Amino acid sequence: MERGSSGLRRLFREVAKFGAVGGAGVLVNLGVFNLVRQVTDLQVVRASVIATVVAIIFNYVGFRYFTYRDRDKSRRTREMSLFLLFSAVGLVIENGVLYAATYGFGWDSPLQSNVFKFLGIGVATLFRFWSYRTWVFRALPARGPVAGSGPVTGGRAKQRVP
């Protein structure tokens, strides 16, 4: 049972670290979104896309150097490409929710925009967590026994009887 509980603890720590970086990323995302809306005349979804891109950059640094710092670092180009691909899918999910609320239902007050932006972030986060941990920040392979050493039996080796 120890093996299962240690795996559960590792998953809990990973989720907590992902949540810490992601929570800070949400603050960056919403902060940039509202700042862009205040200082420019950009449409709501365009402002949201800019904010999402800034948050994606922030999150990559946090995930690579905090959440997944112990993961495989040997293929950074592949990692970055997959991160950008899955982040782009998350961007479409996140901003698709906002787009549907704004242009489909006419919910475009500042409060409504923030609520649906936040809802879109939540839905996209579920996808991102799964995709990042599965495809982008891959776990290092478990270390097995040294080559040439047989299994350890903990006792005397059995002798064969001819």
- Structure confidence at residue 155 (pLDDT): 46
In-domain check, residue 52: yes
The rounded mean pLDDT for the chain is: 86
The domain of 117 spans 2-136
| pLDDT tops 60 at residue 116 | yes
Q: DSSP characters for 114-139?
A: HHHHHHHHHHHHHHHHHHIIIIISPP
Q: DSSP characters for 137-151?
A: SPPPPPP-PPTT---
Q: How confident is the model at residue 144 (pLDDT cuts 50, 70, 90)?
A: low
Q: Give 158: exposed, middle or buried? Use CB within 10 Å, 0-12, 13-18, 19+.
A: exposed
- Structure confidence at residue 14 (pLDDT): 86
Q: What is the pLDDT of residues 6-29, one digit of tens each?
A: 888 988 988 899 899 999 999 999
- Structure confidence at residue 70 (pLDDT): 84
Q: What is the signed CA dihedral for 113, 115, 117, 121, rounded to 10 degrees?
A: 180
Helices marked H in the chain? 2-39, 44-62, 76-99, 110-131
In-domain check, residue 19: yes
In-domain check, residue 86: yes
| pLDDT tops 50 at residue 156 | no
In-domain check, residue 156: no
Angle subtended at Cα 125 by Cα 108 and Cα 21, rounded to the nearest 5 degrees: 110
In-domain check, residue 48: yes
Q: What is the pLDDT of residues 62-106, one digit of tens each?
A: 988 998 888 877 888 888 899 999 999 999 999 999 999 999 999
Measured distance CA(116)–CA(111) in Å, rounded? 9
Report DSSP state, residue 104: I
In-domain check, residue 157: no
pTM (whole model) above 0.85 = no
In-domain check, residue 111: yes
The number of folded domains in the chain is: 1
In-domain check, residue 41: yes
Report DSSP state, residue 88: H
> What would the two tokens of residue 90 be?
């998350």
Measured distance CA(127)–CA(94) in Å, rounded? 10
In one-letter notation, the amino acid at residue 95 is N
